[in-house]
Structure 1
């Protein structure tokens, strides 16, 4: 495989001066065409080729967050891409994160900390003019520290109503001196029209920046596509660098709730020899990647439910995290799912609440400052004697600790917290997690208790995201549920972290096989050396 020489990918030149990193940018004909996974693949490929590589997305809109080692919040896709690069994630990789709180309004997170809640018009008119400098500074720091920076665009570069204040697509490509690869999703249909239409809308200098096309999510015999590819190359004057077949079974995170539909999570009940785990799909569900490891467990059926008709007879019900706990609790109540959940628990069923779902399990939610809603107080599910007050200051921390209640053995755990609320107990209760709030302070012995658990261990909640990514904890917890259902116990832990690393390599191998990586190196070399 050909690559750039050291000088052209940001290595030190003969005079000892480090040149800015080479860049390559993936833009899409639309949202959800697979840019994030293709960026992840290129990150892994460049790492395998010996390059120091980092991902970058200037502005991301996502309810799936990732907490960096220093306790900051970025989009989960950039955290995953950093993992594929084998490096720690930083906020420079995603300096601006938008987290929708309600229709047409989002929390604006800048370099990992909440700045303000804004509606779409105010953000566009009043904040975007300031955002360009933040984006360029972050990008320049990455280019000074790495050999290659792989940049992900957002949505489509052909949104003519957004182009004058663009910080995510073609203007960013210019700031980054980045050649652009245009990604299109053939699975949704109309791929040739999407590519040609996008190219027609671009300005001449923007079309010049596009150096190649990648067609993604192909299913079928690629030879049948050849006449169309030949026509496309002649029509737009750009090479098709690859047709990437659809690749399933990856243990890699999705960016937003729309992907739950694309991934085809089933809503049918499990068979009698499986554990049936139902996750309530809240309208503002966040960090649903918490449950990815459960999907990989043998003998477990994981499903997402939105309606009472989908309830079935679950063994375990999970109430997930939420970007708006108050409104999602109202949804739970108005949809009839609250009644089914409480009946499930009263009849001895298992239930778990994560973050916002854990907050709902208390007696009430208090929001005197209107942090999440216009309701100053809302009754909770009253499963535990606790109250949650929403605060303006956000907690974002990585945590480590031990699980000390409800299982047959003490189990070490790690994860992260992202929440606006502070929970207090109105009377003593068993708390299952003894955790340390920051991995940056490992010499400290300052532990505190987290979560709540019923005396029989069947119902519990916690602020800890990614709790199910802990293999031993997940293994023991599922076996307890299997034992109570009379199912055979799993003897071997499922190594989710190792499966995830294997998925990075599998994705990289797949893209190497179907995309001209040598041509991408040549494109980066030509553009970034001003040839």
Structure 2
């Protein structure tokens, strides 16, 4: 029997689809069901490395054994107690500019699809999306599906491959989520429902009000009035979740928390992460929000890094363009001055490439550019992308990063190009100290470190070495979310969504 499907739709981006899908994955798993997440199409530069089914598995060493999916589906799989893999997010769009994205289909970059116009891709990708969903349904009891943006974008309905087309294909029982903190939630819910076809309206089994602050009793009589107009009940009112512990799916920065040290305690380290326009894999910094005494800042101007103990240059989906943006903001001079004073600088992936002397692009992958000159390295971009898990031991470090010496860390790589010592600078005696072969280097002074490894702060060994502390585990986060939805949803609603054949009504409507 095919898995029963529960789908989380939103009235807008940022309504809370991703974290609610994660919570439902853990809740249904807690009921003893075999669960898998699914999102047909994700647009995000937050990606994780996972095995490609049938390509050698996690132990394979070949390039084709690994692929990319959106980080949200990676975490949802862990919440479901399932092994993350590419079928859970068959289509990933990684924005490289306002009008251009790299297309990743079933984990692998497709140059052909990347060159097609947006609407021209639908017919090409739908068969593989449908096949991936059908395969997951055949292997699981429940598939929890996440939509994208809003299902009522009528200009995109004809080319839809992620919202109601998926819902109809799976005959999913859908929950529609609205962010009530923004205002207008009842209008958002009604308007979204009203723009759907009658067939699609029948798939909406409950409305969810998310990010509510106050007494839920004050909402009356609006939920009942909405039900009278639509036949759909409000099945949950979710209180505002400050610091729920999951990275934000769309890279929404928590600027409201800029001045607070994570998890309390006396402030001892301020970490400023440069937030350039094409920042990628920013979710790997989420654990820093929970380390006692650490304050995490998102820096967009020189004033934002003033007084920081660390400046971090994160990954980038467009390294040369983000480097140009960084210079335009005057952040290059601020970073150089910070390093000259002995302040710690960390570059991750694209950030590592920026720290070197030059970016060389003979394949038209990213662009040529002079680097920041803080490490005597040069990066040559390659047409083939490196995508793999990695586990390494840091060699002997010195200076500000000495605490990492001998630390075993696990993470992942997603990058175009390779980085190496600048030959002319080596001849002049300016050598980078290679602390992990081919992956990590530091300067002679020891305060600037660059590495290709993503996930440093998600590794408990690294957190303990750097801060003598630990962040809450993902298991703790997942269990807390599961307990939350168990209390926020009306009794019996979640069970009813999977207790009958998909064509039967889940609730008394």
Does TM-score exceed 0.5, indicating one fold? Answer: yes
Secondary structure (helix, strand or coil) at the match of 1:260 reads: coil
Instruction: State the alpha-carbon separation in 1 of the partners of residues 286 and 498 from structure 2.
Output: 35
Q: Structure 2: 5+ residue runs without aligned partners?
A: 52-57, 59-65
Moved over 4 A (4+): 117-120, 267-273
Q: 8 Å contact 1:290–1:469 — kept in the other structure?
A: yes
Q: 8 Å contact 1:107–1:117 — kept in the other structure?
A: no
Partner of 2:466: 477
- 1:56 maps to 2:56: no
Q: How far off its partner does 1:345 sit?
A: 0.6
Q: Structure 1: 5+ residue runs without aligned partners?
A: 1-18, 434-447, 479-489
Q: Structure 2 length as normaliser, TM-score?
A: 0.90
Once the two structures are superposed, residues 338-364 of structure 1 have per-residue CA deviations (whole angstroms, 9 ceiling, x without a partner) of 001001111111100000000011110
- Any residues of structure 2 matched to 1:95-494 within 5 Å, and which? 95-116=90-111, 122-257=116-251, 259-261=252-254, 264-266=256-258, 273-373=267-367, 377-406=368-397, 407-408=402-403, 409-426=405-422, 427=426, 428-433=431-436, 448-478=437-467, 490=468, 493-494=469-470
Instruction: State the alpha-carbon separation in 2 of the partners of residues 530 and 230 from structure 1.
Output: 23
Once the two structures are superposed, residues 435-467 of structure 1 have per-residue CA deviations (whole angstroms, 9 ceiling, x without a partner) of xxxxxxxxxxxxx44211123431101000011
Instruction: State the alpha-carbon separation in 2 of the partners of residues 51 and 524 from structure 1.
Output: 10
Instruction: State the alpha-carbon separation in 2 of the partners of residues 98 and 343 from structure 1.
Output: 36
- 1:87 maps to 2:82: yes
Cα RMSD for the two superposed structures: 2.0
1:415/1:223 CA distance change after superposition, 3 Å: same
Q: 8 Å contact 1:104–1:119 — kept in the other structure?
A: no
- 1:508 maps to 2:482: yes
Q: 8 Å contact 2:266–2:292 — kept in the other structure?
A: no
More divergent stretch after superposition (406-415 vs 167-176): 406-415
- Any residues of structure 2 matched to 1:15-34 within 5 Å, and which? 19-34=1-16
More divergent stretch after superposition (290-299 vs 503-512): 290-299
Q: 8 Å contact 1:268–1:310 — kept in the other structure?
A: no
1:253/1:266 CA distance change after superposition, 3 Å: same
Instruction: State the alpha-carbon separation in 2 of the partners of residues 40 and 413 from structure 1.
Output: 26
Once the two structures are superposed, residues 55-98 of structure 1 have per-residue CA deviations (whole angstroms, 9 ceiling, x without a partner) of 00000000111111442110000000001011110100000000
How many residues were matched structurally?
A: 478
Q: How far off its partner does 1:256 sit?
A: 2.0
Once the two structures are superposed, residues 18-37 of structure 1 have per-residue CA deviations (whole angstroms, 9 ceiling, x without a partner) of x1111111111111100111
Once the two structures are superposed, residues 269-309 of structure 1 have per-residue CA deviations (whole angstroms, 9 ceiling, x without a partner) of 99995212111111111111121122211111111110123
Instruction: State the alpha-carbon separation in 2 of the partners of residues 186 and 107 from structure 1.
Output: 33
Instruction: State the alpha-carbon separation in 2 of the partners of residues 296 and 401 from structure 1.
Output: 25
Instruction: State the alpha-carbon separation in 2 of the partners of residues 385 and 240 from structure 1.
Output: 59
Q: 8 Å contact 1:363–1:384 — kept in the other structure?
A: yes
Q: 8 Å contact 1:267–1:304 — kept in the other structure?
A: no
Q: Structure 1 length as normaliser, TM-score?
A: 0.86
Instruction: State the alpha-carbon separation in 2 of the partners of residues 171 and 272 from structure 1.
Output: 51
Q: 8 Å contact 1:75–1:94 — kept in the other structure?
A: yes
Q: 8 Å contact 1:267–1:310 — kept in the other structure?
A: no
